[in-house]
Amino acid sequence: MKPVLTLALARPTFDVPFAQDYAARAFATLDSAEFTSVGPRELLFDAAAARDAIAAIAPDSISAVLLLQVTFTDASMTVEIARAFPGVPLGIWAFPEPRAGGRLRLNSFCGLNLAAHALGRAGIAHGALYAATDATDIAQNLRRLTTAISMPSARLRKPKTSPAIAAQAEALAGKLFGARIGLVGEHPGGFDTCRFEPSRLADLADATVEAIPLSEMFTRAGAVDSARTASRLAEARATYAGLDDLDGEQLRKSLTLHAALAEMKSEKSLDAFAVRCWPETFTEYGCAICGPMGMMGEAGTPCACEADVMGALTTLLLSETAGEPGWLVDIVDMDEASETGVFWHCGSAPLSMRDPHVAARAQIHSNRKMPLLAEFTLKPGRITIARLTQARNGLALVLGAGDVISAPMAFTGTSATVRFDGGVAKARDVLIGEMLEHHVAMVYGDHRAVLEGWAAIKGLPVIDLTSNESAA
C-alpha cells in the first residue's frame, strides 16, 4: 500500500503551541490507525514551506494527500498542493476547539470552509472531515477521506414564492436597486471566498462598486481633527466598558478610521462597505477597524470584512429585508453534542444585537493585540441566515434559519451560539459539501419567504442551509 502524504497547515498569528499540540495528536491518531504517512510533521506556515515539503514527492508514489487544517489559513497552499498531485485523492481534516470563552486559538473550521470553496471554484474534488482526534470511528472516517473522491452534485432548487409575498419581494428589489458598495483595498491572497464578478452585481441589483485605495482611507483618517475624535471618544465611553484599559493612541486611531468611513459614505453615497480589514490597518495604520465597522453597521451601513463584496451585498440585502442591522460572520464551530454552532467575528457586531444581560466591553484584537473591538454575546432570538454564493463558480442564494440561544461567551469578540433548524449536522454538511464561502450573513427575525420571493424575481436558485418548512 502506498503511503499518504500528510501535511499540517497553520498560520503563525494563531496560537502556535496549541496548534502544534493538535497536530501532534492528529499524527498520533494516524499512527495508531496504522496509516503510513510521508511528509514533514511540523506546521507549514507559508507557500515556500509547502513547496519544500512536496518537492521530492512524485504523484505516483502516494495513495492520497491528507491536509491537516490545524488553524485558519488562506487557501493558496491548499490549491497549490492539490494541483501538484492531479488525480490523487485529496482530503482535509479540521479540528473542533474548546469553547473556553477566551481567544479563538485555531479557527480550523473556518479554514476548512475557505479551502473547500477555493477547491470547488478550481473544479478539484476533495473530501472533508471535521472531527476531534479521538472521535468515534475516526480511523474509519480517515480511511474514507483518503480514498477515491468525486465532486458531489450541487443541492440547488427553484425558489418558492407566492402572491402573498410578491409585493414585499418587489419592494425589496426596489430598495436594493442601484446599491453602491465601497471596496476599500483588495481581498487578501488565497481568499477565493471574497472574489466577485461586477457583472453579477449588476444583474442582482444594478449594484456598482466604488474602488477606494487603502491609502485614501488612511489619509482621510489621519486628517480627522481632534474635535471629531473627541466626540467619537465620548460616544464610545458611553457605550463600552473598559475603554480606559486600552492603548490611548491606538484607540484614537481606530476612532479616526470610523470617521473616515462615515466621511466616505457621505461623500460617495455608499450603501455598504467591503474593507480589507487586515493586515494593513494593524501593520501600517496601527489599530483595528473591527469596532468602527460594527458602529457603521449599527448606523445602517453594513461593513464586510476581508473586502468581501458579495458578503457586503448579502448583509445589505438582509438589512433592507428586516429594516434593522445585519451582520457578516464566520461560522467557527459546529458541535453535535450540544446541537449548536458558533457565529463569530473579531468584534464587529452591531450593538443592537447585544444580549441586554451582558455589558458591551471594549477589547483588543485577539491575534494582533490592538483596539478597538466590541466584546459581547448576542441576544437570544430567531434569525435568518443567508449568503449570495459563488460556489463552483455559479450563483445562488443560500438560506437558513435558527435561534440564537443564551449561552456563555464561546470566544472573545462578538459571538452567538446558534441552534439551526434541521440540526447542526445538516448545516455543517451543507457548508462543507456545497463548498460555500466562509462568511454568511445573519439578521434577527424569519425573513426567508421575502428573500425567496426576491430570489425568484432575480432567477436565482436556492441552497437550503437548514430545513425550509417556514419559508413558503
Residues 224 and 128 in one domain: no
248: containing domain: 163-464
310 and 198 inside one domain: yes
Among 379, 407, 415, 354, residue whose Cα is nearest residue 103: 415
**Residue 468: predicted pLDDT:** 57
Shortest CA distance to 99 belongs to which of 415, 432, 325?
415
Instruction: Note whether residue 153 is domain-resident.
Output: no
Listed residue (205, 191, 185, 467) closest to 314, CA to CA:
205
Task: Give the CATH number, domain containing residue 54.
Answer: 3.40.50.10940
Domain at 331, CATH number: 3.20.14
Residue 302 has φ and ψ, to the nearest 5°, of: -60, 145
In a domain, 53, yes or no: yes
Contacts of residue 428, defined as CB under 8 A and 6 or more positions apart, other chains included, come to: 130, 334, 341
Spell out the residues 6+ positions from residue 110 whose beta carbon is closer than 8 angstroms to its own.
72, 330, 331, 332, 438
Kindly give the confidence (pLDDT) of every residue in the chain, 472 residues in length, as a single tens digit, with 9 standing for 90 and above: 899 999 999 999 999 999 999 999 999 999 999 999 999 999 999 989 999 999 999 999 999 999 999 999 999 999 999 999 999 999 999 999 999 999 999 999 999 999 999 999 999 999 999 999 999 999 999 999 999 888 888 999 999 999 999 999 999 999 999 999 999 999 999 999 999 999 999 999 999 999 999 999 999 999 999 999 999 999 999 999 999 999 999 999 999 999 999 999 999 999 999 999 999 999 999 999 999 999 999 999 999 999 999 999 999 999 999 999 999 999 999 999 999 999 999 999 999 999 999 999 999 999 999 999 999 999 999 999 999 999 999 999 999 999 999 999 999 999 999 999 999 999 999 999 999 999 999 999 999 999 999 999 999 999 999 975 544 3
Q: How far apart are CA 448 and CA 468, in angstroms?
A: 8
Same domain (yes/no): 224, 364: yes
Within a 10 A sphere around the Cβ of 407, how many other Cβ atoms? 19
Residue 156 buriedness (CB in 10 A; 0-12 / 13-18 / 19+): middle
In this structure, the answer to whether residues 130 and 77 fall within a common structural domain is yes
151 located within any domain: no
At residue 471, the pLDDT reads: 42
Q: What gap in Å lies between CA 270 and CA 48, rounded to an integer? A: 40
How far is Cα 376 from Cα 353, in angstroms, rounded to an integer? Answer: 9
| Cα four-point dihedral sign 292, 298, 302, 304 | positive
Task: Supply the pTM of this predicted model.
Answer: 0.96
- Find residue 64's DSSP bridge partners: 4
**Residue 116 near residue 438 (C-beta atoms within 8 A):** no
User: Do 66 and 181 belong to one domain?
Assistant: no
DSSP element (H, E) containing 336: none
Q: Do 431 and 389 reside in the same domain of the chain?
A: yes
Shared domain for 139 and 210, answered yes or no, is no
Number of structural domains, the chain? 2
Q: Do 211 and 300 reside in the same domain of the chain? A: yes
Question: Domain for residue 35, yes or no?
Answer: yes
Residue 470 falls within a domain, yes or no?
A: no
Rounded Cα distance between 433 and 364, Å, is 34
Rounded to 10°, the helix 76-84/47-54 angle is 20
Q: Tell me the CB-side half-sphere exposure of residue 131, using CA atoms within 13 A.
A: 20
Task: Return the amino acid letter for 100.
Answer: A
Please say whether the dihedral angle defined by the alpha carbons of residues 263, 266, 267 and 270, taken in this order, is positive or negative: positive
pLDDT for the residue 467:
77
Domain boundary, last residue among 115, 145, 175:
145
User: What span, in angstroms and rounded, lies between the C-alpha atoms of 340 and 327?
Assistant: 19
Radius of gyration of the chain (CA): 22
Listing DSSP states for 149-195 in one string gives --PPPP--BPPP--HHHHHHHHHHHHHHTT-EEEEES-PPTT-GGG-
Q: How many angstroms separate the Cα of 425 from the Cα of each of 67, 72, 80, 349, 466?
A: 22, 21, 30, 25, 10
Task: Give CA–CA dist 251/197, Å, rounded.
Answer: 36
Cα 453 to Cα 472: distance, rounded to the nearest angstrom: 9
- Residue 150 inside a domain? The answer is no
